[in-house]
Amino acid sequence: MTASAAAASTSSTSAEGDGLRHDWSRKEIEALFALSFNDLLFRAHSIHRQHFDPNQVQVSTLLSIKTGACPEDCKYCPQSNRYDTGLEAEKLMEVEKVLEQARAARAQGSTRFCMGAAWRSPKKKDMPYVTAMVRGVKELGLETCMTLGMLTEQQAQELADAGLDYYNHNLDTSPEYYGEIITTRTYGDRLTTLDNVRSAGIKVCSGGIVGMGESVRDRAGLLQQLANLPQHPESVPINMLVQVEGTPLAGTEQLDPIEFIRTIAVARILMPRSYVRLSAGRESMSEEMHALAYFAGANSIFYGEKLLTTPNPEANKDLTLFERLGINAERRCADSDEAVTAALSDSIEQARNDKLFYDASA
């Protein structure tokens, strides 16, 4: 069977009826990656339209609530205390300062506020503060997401009791390549945290990083792990490696942009109902690359000037591109739809007034 025929016979199954597949083989996924670019994008976009409005993108904001001094040895991460990247470590932010940032994110049109701490796992003394953050952000009408490292069953339940909507814990790469990137926690540790989060009733946000020197087989392996979880992650962030001087992966050969788009498309085919998020690395992506990613099935972005410690396109640049592409920011925000819609409209109007939008008549 040719790669095209194998991919056709499997990807159609994932889109039929109400059922989702959780038994993808590595060979099937590699066959999808091997499709011609046009065939792959057509298939992914067709599946995307079956489950989502293709002209709507969910917008999230990510805030680092505790930066640096992480004991892990993730080779991509400037927050590890094992690497000299010039990053200054900071203590856990005060709750009210976090809420100030959440209010600003809501005013810019974000519907989900994600909070990240550079920990191996939170300590008992940290939990009252992070649960207070969750409750405060929820009261603002935003969806809440946290990434705090590994969680025990009890910690996951505490976050659930506080009202946490999503927990982010990426698998990063394939099981086979994982040891080349991280040695201080195992793949099994990551899967256990996802199990604890899901058992507590919290939605799962889990994806990975590409461009770390991995092979196509590794990218297929990462997506296989995610798609074959008992329940697909509700959000699947696909990060492009941001190379930071001082980390072991600085100087890694850049991933071909077409290969990145292929990864987005295959993720959409394997997980038809998940939000596929463009995450780290967007600063280096052209407008054309963004447009292809949205067509391939990406329908969520992190919004704002910084993702934890690395740059991200400014908000007005995203609004400008949305306008040019005819894309709308998803305006769902619990308890405050009208406020968010008004805030987003004001942001777009201000961008127009500032002449930041493309003028087709010029």
Residue 281 sits at φ, ψ, to 5 deg, of: 95, -5
277 tagged catalytic = yes
Known catalytic residue at 70? yes
Catalytic-role residue among 190, 205, 282, 331 = 205
Q: How do residues 311-347 score in pLDDT, each as one tens digit?
A: 444 557 888 898 999 998 875 543 334 443 343 444 3
302 contacts: CB under 8 Å, gap ≥ 6: 60, 61, 62, 114, 277, 278, 279, 280, 282, 312
Q: Of residues 21, 219, 268, 277, which has the active-site annotation?
A: 277
pLDDT the model gives residue 88: 63
Q: What pLDDT score was predicted for residue 196?
A: 97
Would you call 205 a catalytic residue per the annotation?
yes
Residue with structure tokens 């067509």?
295
Phi, psi of 310 (to 5 degrees): -120, 155
Q: Note the pLDDT of residue 7.
A: 45
> Would you call 77 a catalytic residue per the annotation?
yes
What local confidence, expressed as pLDDT, does residue 252 receive? 87
Question: Which residue numbers in the chain have pLDDT < 50?
Answer: 1-18, 305-313, 333-362
Q: Residue 96 has what pLDDT?
A: 86
